[in-house]
Amino acid sequence: MPASDARRRLWPLALLGALLAGCETMPPALSQLPGISGLAQKPASPLDALPAPEARAWPDPAQDVVNQRARGFGLVHAPEAQRYLNGLLARIKAAALVPEWPGEVHLLAQSSLSAYATAAGNIYVSLPWLQSVQSEDELVALLAHEFGHVYLHYHSLEGAIASADTAAGFASLGLGIAYKTAQAQGWSQVDTLQATYALGKTLTTALYGQSQEGAADRFALHITHRLGYSYEHGPKAFLERLGGWEQQNEALELQKQEALKQAIQASALARAAQGAPKSNNALSTALNDASANLQAGLDVGMNQAAFDLSRWIGKFTSAHPDTVKRQDRLAEIAEQYPAVAEERAPAQAPLQAALAQKRTQAILKNYQTAYKAMEAPQSPGAVVLARQAASGPTATHAVPLFALYTAAHAQPGAVRGLPRDLGSLFDANFNSEIDRAWALYTERSTRLKEDGQRDASKRVLERGLQHFAVAEETMPYAVKFYGETDGWERARQQAQQCRQRFPRVAERCQTAARSPQEVAEIDRRTQKKASDITDRWLKKK
């Protein structure tokens, strides 16, 4: 390999190293956040009293719920399951001596193992968590971990991100250039710069996020122990489940990568064969083949290098530390304080009873069926399964209806008994106040717009906006929609209103208000700037 090529491939690593070294000096705003100076930094006995929580102003929990319903497929209305989960949360709050704090547990319609907490004190847990945990100990560990984020006031980070912005943007520019030069082909300069801006921001905040995860794990250990649950079947099992989930998807990602490599190789071989001079001479043909193979190998190698690099960067920039490290930290604490790891039988009966409740059982089963139909909408029987999913207690839920819509679209011959206009299936969801999901409104209005039914499309969107008026998540889509249907002047006005009402999504609204001409002009300028900077860098080297 020529020396210049080798150097180009090493730059990203060198730069990333420098960036990571720089991260040890966190911006002052970050280092002074609650949690960093206290529980997050020094290992403490999980049996010690918790630090007193800091006073705070609570955002409106009800508005928070509406906002979460506007994200993805929204929430699952499963009253009995939620009652059980909220009973557990009430015990966690009591154990943390803050029984009066606001916030409830809500179920996410996501198919992945997902859970998060918001500043309003609400905890959002995806359905597959309920189906995966083996005992109440594990479920309480999950909820206590999430509540730990609320208790430890992790959400202070939100305000601090703004002050870290400039430095992070600066650093990420360098990384963007380096990353670009490591790739022979693929991302455009614009893509690279945009993506690495976000990456740099993440680098700056990752350390805070990672230490907070450790603190939340220790908080969960403290609470579960105090409530009489087992370390082994609680916090330990919870992290092991998380590790299993991550590994399961890592394997899937590697499979996809391998398929991509093979596709690239096939495409490179085809390109080389097209460019090769036609000859009947055996030696010439053999040389062309060898050259094509070499080129294909190089392309795959470059692609692999970029993939490995992005995985490596991901490890350092994730707000969540490596799950194995989290498990080890807890295990070391358990070794250090044997009382916390004393043998306790897992509480399985209450969990089993909650999951066996008739409506809960039907909801879980129907969602599982819907997820399967969505994963393979073209499989024989996917429509039948999706129909089952969209029945009974989930007849008006977004995920089962979307599964039916997707499977019916994928297999037009198998749609007997369904409306000709498949989008009208969503009406059941739109008419159910408790189940409405913003994602279905956007899907419906987008399709109607694409089919030239502008007025109908607008009516759907406006109906959705009536229900989700306080949800910031809806705004960027709405701004873009009105730009495309009513003109970009209206979009700019809406972006201005969005900025005043919802500062957190102001940037997204502003971006959404750009006309196609403005987007093209910004792309052109950004590309030129990136090109100039890259040229300067390469000349210096």
Partner 1 sequence: MKLSFFLAASLAVAACSAQAQDRIVAPSPSSRAAVDLFDSAGAAAPVRQAPVAELGLPLTIQESKASFHRVAVGGQTYWIKGVHVRILRGAEGGCATQRVDSQPTIATPGAGQNACK
* Residues 302-341 interacting with partner 1 (rule: CB under 8 A): 318-320, 323-324, 327-328, 331-332, 334-335, 341
Return the residues of window 10-49 that contact partner 1 according to CB under 8 A: none
Contacting range for partner 1; rule: CB under 8 A; set: 3-11, 247-255, 273-281, 298-306: 247-255
Minimum distance from residue 366 beta carbon to partner 1 (Å): 12
Nearer to partner 1, 328 or 518 (CB): 328
Q: What six digits make up the tokens of 539?
A: 């000349």
What is the rounded distance in angstroms from the CA atom of residue 487 to the CA atom of residue 499?
A: 19
386 binds partner 1 (CB under 8 A): no
Q: Which is nearer to partner 1, 306 or 403 (CB)?
A: 403
In whole angstroms, how close is the CB of 86 to partner 1 at the nearest point? 18
The span from the CA of 422 to the CA of 408, in Å, is 8
Q: Cβ closer to partner 1: 95 or 160?
A: 160
**Which is closer to partner 1, CB of 238 or CB of 488?**
238
Instruction: Give yes or no for residue 456 binding partner 1 (CB under 8 A).
Output: no
Say whether residue 376 binds partner 1 (CB under 8 A).
yes
Residues linked to residue 125 through DSSP beta bridges, in sequence order: 107, 115
Residue in 126, 135, 196, 474 binding partner 1, rule: CB under 8 A: 126
Binding window for partner 1 (CB under 8 A); candidates: 10-18, 83-91, 103-111, 260-268: 103-111
Instruction: Decide: is 384 part of the binding site for partner 1 (CB under 8 A).
Output: yes
Interface of this chain with partner 1, residues 412 to 441, rule: CB under 8 A:
439
In the numeric block, the tokens 């990672």 are attached to: 210
Calculate the CA 164 to chain-centre distance.
Answer: 22
With CB under 8 A as the contact rule, the residue among 166, 188, 248, 424 that binds partner 1 is 248
Q: Closest by alpha carbon to 132, among 207, 262, 242?
A: 242
Assess 246 for contact with partner 1 (CB under 8 A). Answer: yes
Instruction: Pick the closest to residue 232 from 350, 347, 114, 92 (CA basis).
Output: 347
For residues 247 and 279, which CB has a smaller minimum distance to partner 1 in the complex?
247
150 versus 193: smaller Cβ distance to partner 1: 150
In our burial notation (b when 16+ CB lie closer than 10 A, e otherwise), range 118-156 reads bbbbbbbbbbbbbebbebbbbbbbbbbbbbbbbbbbbbb
Q: How many residues bind partner 1 (CB under 8 A)?
A: 90
Of 93 and 326, which has the nearer Cβ to partner 1? 326
Q: How far is the CB of 34 from partner 1 (least distance, A)?
A: 14
Residue 260 burial (10 A CB sphere; 0-12, 13-18, 19+):
middle
- Report the alpha-carbon distance of residue 29 to residue 219 in Å, rounded: 24
Segment interacting with partner 1, rule: CB under 8 A, options 175-183, 243-251, 287-295, 479-487 = 243-251
- The reply on whether position 237 binds partner 1 by CB under 8 A is yes
Q: What angle do CA 470, 472, 62 make, to 5 degrees?
A: 45
What is the separation of C-alpha 148 from the centre of its chain, rounded to a whole number of angstroms?
Answer: 20
Does residue 73 interact with partner 1 by CB under 8 A?
A: yes
54 binding partner 1? (CB under 8 A): no
149 binds partner 1 (CB under 8 A): yes
Tokens of 459: 């009516």
CB proximity list for 367: less than 8 A, separation 6 or greater: 76, 109, 111, 127, 389, 394, 397, 399, 400
3-state secondary structure 142-182: HHHHHHHHHHCCHHHHHHHHHHHHHHHHHHHHHHHHHHHHC
Q: Looking at 93, 155, 222, 444, which residue binds partner 1 (CB under 8 A)?
A: 155
Q: Which range touches partner 1 (CB under 8 A), out of 141-149, 263-271, 452-460, 524-532?
A: 141-149
Q: How far is CA 365 from the centre of its chain?
A: 24
Give the closest residue to 374 by CA, choosing from 386, 387, 384: 386
Q: How many CB atoms lie within 10 A of CB 107?
A: 21
Q: Which stretch binds partner 1 (CB under 8 A): 75-83, 244-252, 283-291, 418-426?
A: 244-252
The answer to whether 214 touches 326, Cβ cutoff 8 Å, is: yes
Kindly report the length of the chain: 541
Tokens 């002050």 locate to 163
Q: How far is the CB of 352 from partner 1 (least distance, A)?
A: 15
Print the binding letters for residues 504-523 with partner 1: x by CB under 8 A, - otherwise.
--------------------
Least distance in angstroms from the C-beta of 415 to partner 1: 16
Near partner 1 in 176-235, by CB under 8 A = 202, 205, 209, 212-213, 216, 230-233
Rounded to the nearest whole angstrom, what is the least distance from the CB of residue 8 to partner 1 in the complex? 26
Query: Given candidates 79, 381, 392, 419, which one binds partner 1 under the rule CB under 8 A?
Result: 381
Q: Choose, by CB under 8 A, the member of 36, 109, 199, 390 that binds partner 1.
A: 109
Position among 189, 288, 303, 369 found at the interface with partner 1 (CB under 8 A)? 369
Distance CA 404, CA 388 (A): 9
Residue 250, interface with partner 1 (CB under 8 A)? yes
Cβ distance to partner 1 smaller for residue 9 or 155: 155
Of the candidate spans 76-84, 87-95, 142-150, 296-304, the one that interacts with partner 1 by CB under 8 A turns out to be 142-150
The rounded distance, in Å, linking the Cα atoms of 307 and 313 is 10
Using rule CB under 8 A, residue 244 touches partner 1: yes
- The reply on whether position 259 binds partner 1 by CB under 8 A is no
Q: How far is CA 117 from CA 151, 160, 162, 282, 474, in A?
A: 10, 18, 21, 67, 20
Closest listed residue to residue 424, CA positions, set 401, 395, 458? 401
Comparison of 72 and 176: residue with beta carbon closer to partner 1: 72
